[in-house]
A and B are shown apart, each in its own frame.
Chain A
Amino acid sequence: MIKFDRVSKTYPGGQQALQQVDFHIEPGEMAFLTGHSGAGKSTILKLISLMARPSVGNVLINGHNLNDIKLSQVPYIRRDIGMIFQSHQLLMDKTVFDNVALPLVIEGYSRKQIQKRVSAALDMVGLLHKIQQLPQALSGGEQQRVGIARAVVNRPPLLLADEPTGNLDPKLSMEIMRLFEDFNQAGVCVFVATHDLGLIARMKYRTLTIKQGRMIDDGLNDQNDPLSTLSDLQDPNLPPMTKLPPKYTL
């Protein structure tokens, strides 16, 4: 579904965000991406959603190389990807309904369809009763859930989330994760970037770990020992990694 083929990203200004990143997420898979702040998690998601382009290497979705996508085609790619952000990215002067309806309006759905799907999506995140509110009147967690409803309202085959539980208490975080599980069970490929390690530990899904722009664990090599990488991550005083990534030592 998502394939990174020796991807490097250097931001304008010389900041090397990713170096030679390789991984593959299968269709219908649910996976987590974790790493320190500044490791390059958001950068990976931006490359998938075409908010950034790789400096070197190829990103493929469903076998299509995103390097071949023209600027004018980018909006159509984004319609296939549901995206959830840490900052909710809602339109503050539009109601919850209008916010969730936006992807459908853009795609030209009929009024009736929009009504039906928006209600269903809001029901799923438990916010149907706030459908006519403005986002300002919602709590941070509620705004986050509106963002999730918007991401799934047009039933994309791929769901990306960047720190979706950043604003939520542990109980609500778990509920959101269960929601992602439900989507995943319905066949959606879910890819979540987070540094909420406790949450990941409880979920038992494939976890990719990135450190200073290098993929140090793509979650396939040592499923039974995620703790080693976790403890490694939790120690900020560790010197920069000098050995080759696990991939090359195999």
Chain B
Amino acid sequence: MSLLFNGRAGDNTTRRVGFFQRVFMGGINHLRQALASLGELWRSPLATFMTIGVLGLSITLPSTLYLMVKNTEKVTAGWEQAGEISLYLQSGTTEQQANQLLLAVSLMTSKIDSARLIAPDIALEEFEALSGLGDSLAYLDKNPLPFVLLITPKPQYLQPEPAKRLLQELEQQSVVDFGKLDIEWLEKLYAIVSIAKDIVWIVAILLCVSVVLIIGNTIRLNILSQREEIAVMKLVGATDNFIRFPFLYTGFWYGFLGGLLAWMLVAFLLWWIQSGVENLAGLYQAEFTISGLDMQALGVILLISISLGLIGSLISVQKHIKEIEPS
């Protein structure tokens, strides 16, 4: 394409090749440029490694926190499922009254999954066995324990609010002394988790901004160190876009490699924490594996870090390449 000389366009034979071949060649060219940018990074390994290290660490922190929060949610979701309501009946309630209540409660099938009556004798036996206080309990002249009705609500009544309403309803029944729904600690946990989530988001956003700034600054230094080369390229007719692409690819590679490093670091950290978590879970006779670091997580981390790399380099390139003019 010549603006000044009409006859000159035909001089360039590549203009005559077909559309698809041109697209194909363009693709090959971009691939070549991308690899060239990677080679350029390889040529100064120490500087490249330090930059990638900073990026990797910056992305590792929010990723790890995010996975921790997600796993916490998973754990607490398990606890929710085990939710039960204990109804303590008034002392002096006869077995017949207790059974009547059991029947009445069992009939509330829309809200209740199952109900079970625990007689005072059985409760005492269980208590003796678990507490090891068997002998001293023998001195009691009369069983102090009341009848207890253990109720498992339907799943939709397991959330804190509906469960509370169900509890109030059950407490209205006759012979019920009080009901207990150990849900306050769950609410507190929820609140803590939600604060933690907010913190993760804030940390993540701040670190993402810093990643963009780091990459932007690194690319800026790259551009300035190649001032003369860029001026020469402009002298022989390179468009800004032509000069831009290698730097954008550099940003891409920084993002990609930083993301990869972050993923490996997160995997390492989780592996490290896992043994501690297993210990803790063992104390609760439970098994628990930290999860979430799968291929999808890798994809998300890479996507985010590559986007950050591209944004950083784009900002730098837009600003600085225009400023360099041959003189």
- Show the binding face of A for B, using Cβ within 8 Å: 49, 51, 61-62, 64, 69, 72-73, 75-80, 83, 89-91, 93, 102-103, 106-110, 113, 150, 155, 157
- Within the complex, what minimum Cβ distance (angstroms) separates B208 from chain A? 32
- Within the complex, what minimum Cβ distance (angstroms) separates A3 from chain B? 12
Q: Is the CB of B3 within 8 A of A106?
A: no
Of chain A, the residue at the smallest CB distance from B232 is A89
B residues 1-34 near A (Cβ < 8 Å) are 1-5, 8, 11-14, 17, 25, 29
Q: Is the CB of A91 within 8 A of B232?
A: yes
- Within the complex, what minimum Cβ distance (angstroms) separates A95 from chain B? 14
Give the distance in Å from the alpha carbon of A91 to the alpha carbon of B226 in the complex: 10
- At the interface, yes or no: B237 with Cβ under 8 Å from chain A? yes
Give the distance in Å from the alpha carbon of A79 to the alpha carbon of B238 in the complex: 8
Q: Is the CB of B3 within 8 A of A73?
A: yes
| B25 neighbours in A (Cβ, 8 Å) | 108, 110
Which among B3, B17, B232, B236 is the interface contact of A69 at CB below 8 angstroms? Answer: B3
Q: Is the CB of B13 within 8 A of A110?
A: yes
Of chain A, the residue at the smallest CB distance from B29 is A108
- Within the complex, what minimum Cβ distance (angstroms) separates B44 from chain A? 12
Q: Is the CB of B237 within 8 A of A91?
A: no
| A79 neighbours in B (Cβ, 8 Å) | 2, 236-237
- At the interface, yes or no: B264 with Cβ under 8 Å from chain A? no
Q: Is the CB of B1 within 8 A of A102?
A: no
Of chain B, the residue at the smallest CB distance from A51 is B326
Other than the known A62-B5, A108-B25, what 15 A-B pairs have Cβ atoms closer than 8 Å? A51-B235, A61-B4, A62-B4, A72-B239, A75-B242, A76-B1, A76-B3, A80-B8, A93-B229, A103-B236, A107-B12, A107-B237, A108-B29, A110-B13, A113-B13
Of chain B, the residue at the smallest CB distance from A110 is B14
Which among B17, B242, B327 is the interface contact of A106 at CB below 8 angstroms? Answer: B242
- At the interface, yes or no: B233 with Cβ under 8 Å from chain A? yes
- At the interface, yes or no: B227 with Cβ under 8 Å from chain A? no
Number of interface residues of B (CB under 8 A): 28
Q: Is the CB of A102 within 8 A of B233?
A: yes
- A-B residue pairs, 5 tightest by C-beta: A79-B237, A78-B237, A75-B239, A103-B236, A75-B237
Q: Is the CB of A102 within 8 A of B236?
A: yes
Q: List 26 A-B contacts (CB under 8 A).
A: A49-B235, A51-B325, A51-B326, A62-B4, A64-B3, A72-B239, A73-B3, A75-B238, A75-B239, A76-B1, A76-B3, A77-B237, A78-B235, A78-B236, A79-B2, A89-B232, A102-B233, A102-B236, A106-B237, A107-B14, A108-B14, A108-B25, A109-B14, A110-B14, A110-B25, A113-B13
| A64 neighbours in B (Cβ, 8 Å) | 3-4
Give the distance in Å from the alpha carbon of A61 to the alpha carbon of B5 in the complex: 9
- At the interface, yes or no: B111 with Cβ under 8 Å from chain A? no
| A77 neighbours in B (Cβ, 8 Å) | 3-4, 237
| B237 neighbours in A (Cβ, 8 Å) | 75-79, 103, 106-107
Give the distance in Å from the alpha carbon of A106 to the alpha carbon of B231 in the complex: 14
| A78 neighbours in B (Cβ, 8 Å) | 234-237
| A61 neighbours in B (Cβ, 8 Å) | 4
| B12 neighbours in A (Cβ, 8 Å) | 107-109
Give the distance in Å from the alpha carbon of A64 to the alpha carbon of B6 in the complex: 11
Give the distance in Å from the alpha carbon of A93 to the alpha carbon of B235 in the complex: 17
Give the distance in Å from the alpha carbon of A109 to the alpha carbon of B232 in the complex: 19
Q: A109-B12, A109-B14, A110-B14 given as contacts; is B5 within 8 A of A157 (CB)?
A: yes
Give the distance in Å from the alpha carbon of A90 to the alpha carbon of B8 in the complex: 26
